[in-house]
A = this chain, B = another copy of it.
Amino acid sequence: MKNKKAPHIAVAIDCIVFGFDGTDLKLLLIQRGFNPELHKWSLMGGYVNPEESVDDASVRILHQLTGLQGVYLEQLHAFGAVQRDTTERTVSIAYFALIDIARYKQQLSADYHAEWFPIRDFPSLIFDHNEMVELAKKRLQYKAALHPVVFELLPQKFTLPQIQSMYDAVYEINFDKRNFSRKLLSTDLLIKLDEKDKLGSKKGAFYYTLNKDKYKENLYKIFSLIITPDNLQFL
């Protein structure tokens, strides 16, 4: 009952930062500079202060530990096992961020000891952070199946091969490029530009941008873009 005296518990934030570099999906990690677990890899974490909201704390902590600002950030899940933190009983509220790696290369200065790791090959993490990353991956797959949220991983201008690489990376499969592009273009969410990206190939691939006007009204068209029996894990 809430009229009894409230026990107080440490409340922390942990941030899972996903990044895409045009080819691979990556995970941002930092090496701990203090005990316990000194020098081990971990997510960006910190405590929630009494005078700030949990959402504000996530923004502050991500910024303090990486320099990142203005990125897409969404609450994932509260992790509340009693022994999850060896220091003291701590409830951690995990957030995940989605960023275009190239765009935030400046912000992510060398002052911070944050490093990108391939999502398919990163070091073992402290506490229950591995579990957090696993859940975040699933949530991303889940959410992307119904929502064009993964465009947060792309630059403003992107090519069809890049989008497909992104979806391939998120779902860890290879979509048929003919069917994929047909379906994606049928959403009317993309605007084709005259410009081409000539870095990836001799022929070059046309740039596209998100059609902000149609973004909201056609959100639903992204539905079922991805869902197939074999590639979607469940929460």
Task: Report which A residues bind B (CB closer than 8 A).
Answer: 1-4, 6-12, 34-35, 45-55, 57, 64-65, 75, 77-82, 87-91, 93, 142, 145-147, 219-221, 223-224, 227-229, 232, 234-235
Which residues of chain B are within 8 angstroms of A46 by Cβ–Cβ distance? 1-2
Q: Complex: how many Å from CA A11 to CA B229?
A: 39
Shortest beta-carbon distance, A134 to chain B, in Å?
A: 16
Which residues of chain B are within 8 angstroms of A50 by Cβ–Cβ distance? 7, 9, 82, 89
Q: Is the CB of B75 within 8 A of A54?
A: no
Q: Complex: how many Å from CA A75 to CA B50?
A: 23
Q: Complex: how many Å from CA A50 to CA B5?
A: 13
Q: Is the CB of B2 within 8 A of A45?
A: yes
CB-based closest 9 A-B pairs: A54-B80, A8-B8, A6-B10, A3-B34, A220-B229, A78-B78, A78-B93, A9-B11, A6-B47
Q: Is the CB of A147 within 8 A of B12?
A: no
Q: Is the CB of A227 within 8 A of B234?
A: no
Which residues of chain B are within 8 angstroms of A65 by Cβ–Cβ distance? 1
Which residues of chain B are within 8 angstroms of A77 by Cβ–Cβ distance? 75
Q: Complex: how many Å from CA A35 to CA B50?
A: 23
Q: Is the CB of B7 within 8 A of A9?
A: no
Given A50-B89, A147-B235, A220-B229, 11 more A-B residue pairs with CB atoms under 8 Å apart are A1-B46, A4-B47, A6-B12, A7-B11, A8-B9, A9-B48, A11-B91, A50-B82, A78-B78, A146-B146, A221-B229
Which residues of chain B are within 8 angstroms of A64 by Cβ–Cβ distance? 1
Q: Complex: how many Å from CA A112 to CA B224?
A: 44
Which residues of chain B are within 8 angstroms of A235 by Cβ–Cβ distance? 147
Q: Is the CB of B75 within 8 A of A53?
A: no
Question: What are 11 A-B contacts with C-beta separation under 8 Å?
Answer: A1-B34, A1-B46, A6-B12, A7-B11, A8-B8, A8-B10, A51-B89, A52-B82, A55-B80, A146-B232, A224-B227
Q: Is the CB of B220 within 8 A of A228?
A: yes
Question: Quick one: which of B11, B57, B147 contacts A11, CB cutoff 8 A?
Answer: B11
